[in-house]
Amino acid sequence: MIPAIVVFLYLAAVLYIGIFAFRRARGKEEAEDYFLASRSLGPFVFLFSLFGTNMTAFAILGSSGHAFNNGIVTFGLMASSSGLVIPLTIFLIGTRVWALGKKYGFMTPVQMFRDRWECTHIGTVIFVAQAVLLVPYIIIGIMGGGTTLYTISNGLVPFWFGGAIVAMVVMSYVFFGGMRGTAWVNTFQTVLFLCFGAIALIVIGVGMGGFRSAAQAIQASPMASLLTRERISPYYFFSYTFIPLSAIAFPHILIFCLTARKMAQFKKTVIFYPICILAIWLPCVFLGVMANRVTDIPEIRAKQEARRVLATQGKNMAPEQRDELREQSAGDDVIMLLLHRYAPLWLAGLLGAGIMAAVMASDSQILALSTMFTEDVFAFYGGKSRFGEAVQVQTGRVFIILITLFAYAVALRAPETIFELAIQYAFSGFAALSPLLVAALFWRGSTKWGALAVTLWTAFAVVAVAVLQSVVPAPAPGPATVLWAPGGVEVLSRTPGGTAVFGFMPVVPMVIVSVLLMIVVSMMTRKPADGTLAKYFGGPKP
């Protein structure tokens, strides 16, 4: 029960931060203050809140779980590639979006697209695509909160109650504190993440009697492949470098880029981003791999056994049986199991709060959706001019309540795996939308029709992959099921982990086709007026 009490204290602290931010902003009923903290975040808060916004439950729970089953490849696959691509996109795109926001008052990406490409309803189509891809995050955040509280309290706090508490806390500090509250909470949470990795590594390392013997024992065992990348193909590994392109296309990340007081604040974020990723992911991945050597935790033994049965007998099983074994071998809770076994109770509670911090990263998505709705729909279709800015902020707050209630209701009814899959698709979807930003900021010749083609293609591709994966069951670990191979060339395959197109993850063709569509369709259609182009690229105004 002690860990659960510590977690509740943490939730109270988070709530207080949000309300404190509300008190600081009291009297200011301006949209820019509520949704963007008056574009006034300092360097420390900007770095940690932007980083924290991007770190979901997956950073701690999912990374160690993925490493438990797949080995060290997890770090290169998801962390180090992000450490290169994400700061690079913040450097190239985030700074430009910040400058345009300062100059022209944009508060959402769609506002910028509408102005840049002189479009109205096409902007609404982009808004819908972004919103649909973002909602699963909010649902999974509430589910993660319920599951974590249930696990930490040893079942004393039921899932529905834990989920309700997390939803309530997140909703409250976003409702009251807006962007300022969310940024402060994210900063607090990121500091917790960073401490979490180091402390967990030391405590578990000491508990296991040092990592040297564990690593060498794995090296000498049949599990030695976990210390290599044998289980993943180089094509798949390469494909994954496209996924971090999604980060800058996520509306909540781009909106966060608008909150910096000065552009200089991007400098520290860009430089330290790879180090922050290293500090959080490396311990989690390493611990996930080392968990395979633990012999005195029955739950971990059961997962290894499920994995073994799936690998050796999976081919002869029904798809449902394979799915069941996959679920049993899933390692998302290995880090919690290690902490339960090796950390003292009070420390397990503190570390549980760190995990809670990761799970509760849905705050920025809720706020971003509210900002997008009030700016891209409510204000754009005349609500702001008719009812005023104070009503716009109140509408944003009501939207926060409604979206949280909706997410909670869905979280209670739907199986978690559906939304985990939806998030996988969302990453690919936002990566495929990233050419919109590049074209808007760097290519004079891009047009609204090119933007529409990219958005429709992304929606189609995400739905197509989702349908394919639900119709064709995942094969057992081993070779993929080839679905289409004209002339002996394997074009489309169903792999144990998803889908492959020419051996690559779907995100690769999705991004490439997006780029081609933007180029071809833009070249065939009329460009915005010279005055608009001059706003973005300089040159004489007509």
Partner 1 sequence: MKKILLVVAVAVLYVLHQDIWFWRSSYLVFGFIPIGLFYQGMFSVAAALLMWLLVTYAWPSHLEQEVEETKSREDSTR
Contacts with partner 1, residue ranges (CB under 8 A)? 72-73, 75-76, 79-81, 83-84, 87-88, 91, 95-96, 98-99, 102-103, 211-212, 214-216, 219, 224-225, 227-230, 234, 237-238, 241, 262-264, 267, 270-275, 277-278, 282, 285-286, 289
Work out how close the CB of 124 gets to partner 1 at its nearest, in angstroms, rounded to a whole number: 28
Q: Name beta bridge partners: 500.
A: 493
Encoded amino acid at 296, one letter? D
Work out how close the CB of 246 gets to partner 1 at its nearest, in angstroms, rounded to a whole number: 17
Question: Which three-class secondary structure state does DSSP give residue 342?
Answer: helix
The answer to whether 251 touches 130, Cβ cutoff 8 Å, is yes
Q: Is the dihedral of CA 322, 323, 327, 330 positive or negative?
A: positive
Work out how close the CB of 102 gets to partner 1 at its nearest, in angstroms, rounded to a whole number: 5
CB closer to partner 1, 138 vs 437:
437
Burial (Cβ within 10 Å: 0-12, 13-18, ≥19) of residue 114: buried
Work out how close the CB of 270 gets to partner 1 at its nearest, in angstroms, rounded to a whole number: 5
CB closer to partner 1, 132 vs 201:
201
CB closer to partner 1, 278 vs 410:
278
Work out how close the CB of 281 gets to partner 1 at its nearest, in angstroms, rounded to a whole number: 9
Report d(CA 476, CA 495) in Å as an integer: 9
Backbone angles phi, psi at 504, to 5 degrees: -95, 160
Work out how close the CB of 435 gets to partner 1 at its nearest, in angstroms, rounded to a whole number: 18
Question: Which three-class secondary structure state does DSSP give residue 475?
Answer: coil
Encoded amino acid at 367, one letter? L
CB closer to partner 1, 282 vs 472:
282
Question: Which three-class secondary structure state does DSSP give residue 34?
Answer: helix
What token pair was written down for 137?
A: 């995050």
Q: Which residues of 333-354 are buried (b: 16+ CB within 10 A; e: fewer)?
A: bbbbbbbbbbbeeebbbbbbbb
Q: Is the dihedral of CA 387, 389, 394, 395 positive or negative?
A: positive
CB closer to partner 1, 91 vs 443:
91
Q: Name beta bridge partners: 260.
A: 41
Q: Is the dihedral of CA 186, 187, 190, 191 positive or negative?
A: negative
Work out how close the CB of 507 gets to partner 1 at its nearest, in angstroms, rounded to a whole number: 16
The answer to whether 367 touches 18, Cβ cutoff 8 Å, is no
The answer to whether 4 touches 150, Cβ cutoff 8 Å, is no
Report d(CA 473, CA 470) in Å as an integer: 7
Work out how close the CB of 47 gets to partner 1 at its nearest, in angstroms, rounded to a whole number: 12
Work out how close the CB of 440 gets to partner 1 at its nearest, in angstroms, rounded to a whole number: 15
CB closer to partner 1, 143 vs 270:
270
Work out how close the CB of 292 gets to partner 1 at its nearest, in angstroms, rounded to a whole number: 12
Between the CA atoms of 298, 304, 307 and 308, what dihedral angle is there, to the nearest 10 degrees?
Answer: -110
CB closer to partner 1, 210 vs 473:
210
Work out how close the CB of 276 gets to partner 1 at its nearest, in angstroms, rounded to a whole number: 9
Residues whose CB is less than 8 angstroms from the CB of residue 518 and which lie 6 or more positions away in sequence, other chains included: 435, 436, 439, 446, 450, 451, 453, 454
Work out how close the CB of 446 gets to partner 1 at its nearest, in angstroms, rounded to a whole number: 19
Encoded amino acid at 213, one letter? S
CB closer to partner 1, 201 vs 347:
201
CB closer to partner 1, 131 vs 227:
227
CB closer to partner 1, 23 vs 103:
103
Report d(CA 542, CA 539) in Å as an integer: 9
Work out how close the CB of 224 gets to partner 1 at its nearest, in angstroms, rounded to a whole number: 5
CB closer to partner 1, 165 vs 254:
254
Q: Name beta bridge partners: 484.
A: 492
The answer to whether 256 touches 49, Cβ cutoff 8 Å, is yes
Work out how close the CB of 116 gets to partner 1 at its nearest, in angstroms, rounded to a whole number: 16
CB closer to partner 1, 225 vs 394:
225
- H-assigned helices in 25-89: 31-36, 43-54, 57, 63-70, 73-74, 81-89
CB closer to partner 1, 225 vs 525:
225
In 468-534, the DSSP E strands lie at 481-484, 492-495, 498-501
Residue with tokens 């259609």: 525
What token pair was written down for 118?
A: 């002189």
What token pair was written down for 510?
A: 């999705």
CB closer to partner 1, 94 vs 349:
94
